[in-house]
Amino acid sequence: MATGKSQVFTVGVDFGGTNLRVAAYTPDCGILHSILLPTRLQAGPDAVVDDMCLAVQQLLDHFSPAHSLAGIGVGSPGPLELPAGRLHHPPNLPGWDGYHLLAEMEKRLRRPVAIEGDANVAVLAEYALGLGKELGIDSLCMLTLGTGVGNGIILDGKLWHGATGMGGEAGHMTIDPDGPICGCGSNGCLEVCASATAVANAAEHMIAEGNAHGLARLKNGLVPLTALDVANAARRGDPDAQYIYSETGRALGVGLAGLVNILNLPLYVVGGGVAESWDLLKPALFEELERRSYVYALTAPGRPAASGMPGGGTRVMPAKLGPDAGLLGACILPLYQAKAASTNSILLPLGRE
């Protein structure tokens, strides 16, 4: 007889536009094993979901003899309608409009699946395992600066879904009404001003205009530059690369100022690849934030209205968990949902009880 299953485990899926990451996780040991696959977007939604579910099944088969499954969690690109689990015109997944991701996964896996937008699982991880845990904060807002700009919001210990699961799309708040066109159909969104794509595009644009000789030499006519290439150039003193990061920090500051003014939370976390260049973003970001948010100016640590705030004042910080936030968040999502279902009160983060 099967006895003595040592502890619960979950399987988490970080569904990205480039890669799929699938991991088995336990609350005590963290990630036990993870699988990395390319996202075969050209093969269509069903093939991608097949790949995803095959990897999940491998981990289920491998770990369920010894552990007891507590659930499967998925972080998906948005916009994702909840609770339906259906995608609507996801800008980075052409051909997926109207796709019932949740139903397709549950059909293949013959088990319930917990699903959230990718920025929602990332903020859940920062809340339960990262900065939220460290600072003892139950309300926070996270921006993830990657291919696009994701956003997740936790209010009083609960993911803020809004009426249809589409809350937390601050990546598409307008920063510059005359700014570049965005995949969402608008222009000047935070996403086209502060994503990794935006940083790389700004560099390519300057090179094309013949105004950035250092970046042009770096590129050397070959592959497109990445946000990381531009960051490295900025750190080596390239003024055009520094300008690009300064403008990116400025756009972020404008967006964060709006979020601070609207929500007045104690913590704003900036994650995703671009946040790894926090040193380059920081000066212009805080300059805009101070000037454009009097709520921030009054509540930053040490200011007149900061006393008594959890965390000691309004904090704006780079993410603690780095690129694993999305995968970790997907892994803990089933545990969070089980907890949310069993209580109506404020949810303490997992591991903070």
The gap from C-alpha 233 to its chain's centroid, in whole angstroms, comes to: 25
CA atoms of 197 and 217, how far apart (whole Å): 20
222-227 contacts at long range (C-beta below 8 A, 24 or more positions apart): 224/200, 225/200, 226/196, 226/200, 227/196, 227/197, 227/199, 227/200, 227/273, 227/274, 227/277
Q: Is 176 one of the binding residues for a copy of itself (CB under 8 A)?
A: yes
Single out the residue of 26, 57, 186, 201 in contact with a copy of itself (rule: CB under 8 A). Answer: 186
Q: Is 151 one of the binding residues for a copy of itself (CB under 8 A)?
A: yes
Sheet holding 19-26: strands in order across?
Answer: 30-38, 19-26, 8-15, 68-76, 113-117
- Of 71 and 171, CB closest to a copy of itself: 171
# binding residues, a copy of itself (CB under 8 A): 59
Q: Is 10 one of the binding residues for a copy of itself (CB under 8 A)?
A: no
Residues between 253 and 282 that touch a copy of itself (CB under 8 A): 254, 257-259, 261-266
Paired tokens of 81? 């309608």
Q: How far is the CB of 88 from a copy of itself (least distance, A)?
A: 5
Q: How far is the CB of 281 from a copy of itself (least distance, A)?
A: 17
Among 52-60, 128-136, 172-180, 320-328, the segment contacting a copy of itself (CB under 8 A): 172-180
Q: How far is the CB of 222 from a copy of itself (least distance, A)?
A: 35
Residues between 45 and 84 that touch a copy of itself (CB under 8 A): 79, 81
Q: Is 153 one of the binding residues for a copy of itself (CB under 8 A)?
A: yes
Residues between 82 and 101 that touch a copy of itself (CB under 8 A): 86, 88-89, 98
Q: Which of 53, 163, 159 is nearest to 108 (CA)?
A: 53
Strand partners, 8: 68
Paired tokens of 264? 């007045």
Q: Residues 78, 119: contact at Cβ < 8 Å?
A: yes
Q: Residues 335, 350: contact at Cβ < 8 Å?
A: yes
Single out the residue of 41, 106, 160, 323 in contact with a copy of itself (rule: CB under 8 A). Answer: 160
Binding interface with a copy of itself (CB under 8 A):
79, 81, 86, 88-89, 98, 139, 151, 153, 155, 160-177, 184-186, 189, 254, 257-259, 261-266, 291-295, 297-299, 304-306, 308-310, 314, 344-345
